[in-house]
Amino acid sequence: MANPKLGLVRKNRRELGMLGLLVVLIVITSLGTRESGVMGLFESKFLTPDNLKNISREIGIYGIFSIGVGIVIITAGIDLSVGSLMALLGVVFLYFVTPPETRPDSFLAKIIPEISWPMAIIFTLAMGTLVGLMQGLLVGKLKLQAFIVTLCGLLSYRGLARFSADDTSINLSDSEQNLNFVRYLGEGSLGDVLTNGNGSGILHSIPMSFVYLIGFALVFGIILHRSIFGRYIFAAGRNELATKYSGINTSIVIAFAYVIAGFCTAFASIPFCIYTGSVQPATHGAFFELYAIAAAVLGGCSLKGGEGSIIGILIGTAILIVLRNMVNLFGYPTPLSDAITGGVIFVGVLLDQHGISSIKRLFTKKNKAA
C-alpha cells in the first residue's frame, strides 16, 4: 500500500527542493552578515527587524505580479509587459492624485483629471485589467504569439509612459490631497493601518504589501488548485487542442489568465509607486517581467505549460529577493544581482527543458565516449 505522505512529497518535490534552497540562502546570509565577537553569533544584519521588514515588503510587491505571470505561464504563455505596464500605471495613478499644474506639458497629462485617491485606485486597477483583457484576446482569440503581443506591450507601454511624463519624474509629494492613509496602505504596515500610524508592536513589522500577497495567494490558490476553472487553466497549458476538443473554450480560459496578470500588475503598481514616492518612467519597474518569470520558473511553473503552483511562485519570489539582499549585504556590486537573476532563469529553463536525469545522461555519454 502506497504511503500517502510519500506521494505528497513526490508530487511537490520541486517546491520542496526550492524551499530547501531558500532555507540554505537564509542560513548563509545570516551567518555571513553576523557581527564580530561572541555576541555577534546572535546578531546578523540580515535578521534585523528593519531588513526583514524591507524583504517582506519586496516579496509582497514582487510576489503579487509574479502570481499573475505564473498563471499565464501555466497556460503555456508569457508576459513580457509587466515592468512597462507598472511604469505606465504608476504615471497614471500619480496623475490622478496630483493637480494638473504640477504635471509635465503633455497631452495625457492634460486630459487626465485629478480625482480622489480611492477613485484613482479603482481606475488604475480597471486600466490594468483592461490591458490584460486586450492582450488576452489577442493571444486567446486571435491566436497571436504571446511573446510578440507582450513584447509590443513592453515597448509601447514604456514609450507611452515616457512620452506622457515628458521623460521626467512624477512625484507623489506634488499631490495636494491628504494621502496619509493611502501611504499607510502602500508603504506602511498592518499596525499603521489599524492604528492610523500610532503605536508599535509586532503588527508594525508586517508590511501591507505582504498582507496583500497573502490574500492574493489564498484567492488564486483556491482558483487555481480547488476550482474547475483552475483545472481548465492547467488543461489548456498541457494540451490546448485536446482541451478544446473536449468542449472547453480554451480561448476564454487563456484570455482570462492574461486578465488576472493585468489585474495583479495593476495592484502591485500602486504600493510600489507609493513606496518609491515617484515614478521615473524610463526606469520604473525595469526588468520586473524577468523577476516574475524567474520566480515562476523557480517555483515549478513549466515554460511548456500545464505545471505550476501558487506556493511555488511565492518560494521562487522569496529566493530572488533574498539573493538580491544577500548581494547587497555582502557588499558586492549591485549590478551583480541582475547577473544572478539571469543565471537563475537559465538554470531554471535548463532543468525545465531537460531535467537533472537528462543532463546526467548527457555528461555520462560524453565520459564514455572519451
Does position 3 have pLDDT exceeding 90, yes or no?
Answer: no
pLDDT tens for residues 163-204?
A: 999 999 999 999 999 999 999 999 999 999 988 877 677 888
Burial of 1 from C-beta contacts in 10 A (0-12 / 13-18 / 19+):
exposed
Give the model's confidence band at 359: pLDDT under 50 very low, under 70 low, under 90 confident, else very high: low
Reported confidence tier of residue 31, pLDDT bands at 50, 70, 90: confident
Contact 70, 308 (CB under 8 A): yes
The 3-class secondary structure across the chain, one letter per residue, is CCCHHHHHHHHCHHHHHHHHHHHHHHHHHHHHCECCCCHHHHCECCCCHHHHHHHHHHHHHHHHHHHHHHHHHHCCCCCCCHHHHHHHHHHHHHHHHCCHHHCCCCHHHHHCCCCCHHHHHHHHHHHHHHHHHHHHHHHHCCCCCHHHHHHHHHHHHHHHHHHHCCCCCEEHHHCCCCCHHHHHHHHCEHHHHHHCCCCCCHHHHCEHHHHHHHHHHHHHHHHHHHCHHHHHHHHHHHCHHHHHHCCCCHHHHHHHHHHHHHHHHHHHHHHHHHHHCEECCCCCCCCHHHHHHHHHHHCCCCCCCCCCCHHHHHHHHHHHHHHHHHHHHCCCCCCHHHHHHHHHHHHHHHHHHHHHHHHHHHHHHHHHHC
Which pLDDT band, with edges at 50, 70 and 90, does 365 fall under?
low
Query: What pLDDT, on a 0 to 100 scale, did the predictor assign at position 250?
Result: 95
Grid coordinates of 271: 504600493
CA pseudo-torsion sign 246, 249, 251, 253 = negative
Interatomic CA distance for residues 49 and 56, integer angstroms:
10
CA nearest to 291, candidates 97, 65, 108: 65
Q: b or e along 132-167 (b: 16 or more beta carbons within 10 Å of the residue's beta carbon)?
A: bbbbbbbbbeeeeebeebbbebbeebbebbbebbee
Spans of all domains in the chain = 48-285
Average pLDDT over residues 28-35: 85
Residue 345: CB atoms within 10 A of its CB come to 18
pLDDT of residue 355: 62
d(CA 263, CA 252): 16
- The average confidence (pLDDT) of the chain is 88
Q: Which pLDDT score, from 0 to 100, does residue 156 have?
A: 97
Which residues on adjacent β-strands are paired with residue 278? 171
Model confidence at 122, pLDDT cuts 50, 70, 90, reads very high
What pTM did the predictor assign?
0.91
Minimum mean pLDDT among 118-127, 205-214, 274-283, 344-353: which range?
A: 344-353
Please give the Cα distance from 66 to 69 (Å, whole number). Answer: 5
Instruction: Judge whether residue 1 has pLDDT over 50.
Output: no
Q: What's the Cα-to-Cα distance from 367 to each of 84, 350, 351, 361, 370, rounded to whole Å?
A: 46, 20, 21, 10, 5
pLDDT at 367 over 60: no
Question: pLDDT, tens digit, for every residue of 291-337?
Answer: 999 899 888 898 899 999 999 999 999 999 998 898 888 888 877 77
Asked whether 33 and 54 are in contact (CB, 8 A), the reply is no
| Nearest partner of 77 among 222, 267, 292, judged by Cα | 292
Q: Confidence class of residue 362 from pLDDT cuts 50, 70 and 90?
A: low
pLDDT of 44 strictly over 60 = yes
Q: How confident is the model at residue 369 (pLDDT cuts 50, 70, 90)?
A: very low
CB 23 within 8 A of CB 17: no
Whether pLDDT at 141 is above 80: yes
pLDDT at 237 > cutoff 90: yes
Give me the pLDDT at residue 323, please.
87
Mean pLDDT along residues 61-72: 97
Q: What is the pLDDT of residue 216?
A: 97
Q: What percent of the chain has pLDDT over 90?
A: 64
- pLDDT (0 to 100) of residue 10: 65
Strand partners, 170: 279
Question: Cα-Cα-Cα-Cα dihedral of 350, 352, 358, 364, to 10°?
Answer: 30
Residue-level pLDDT at 370: 47
Better-scored residue on pLDDT, 94 or 352: 94
pLDDT of residue 356: 63
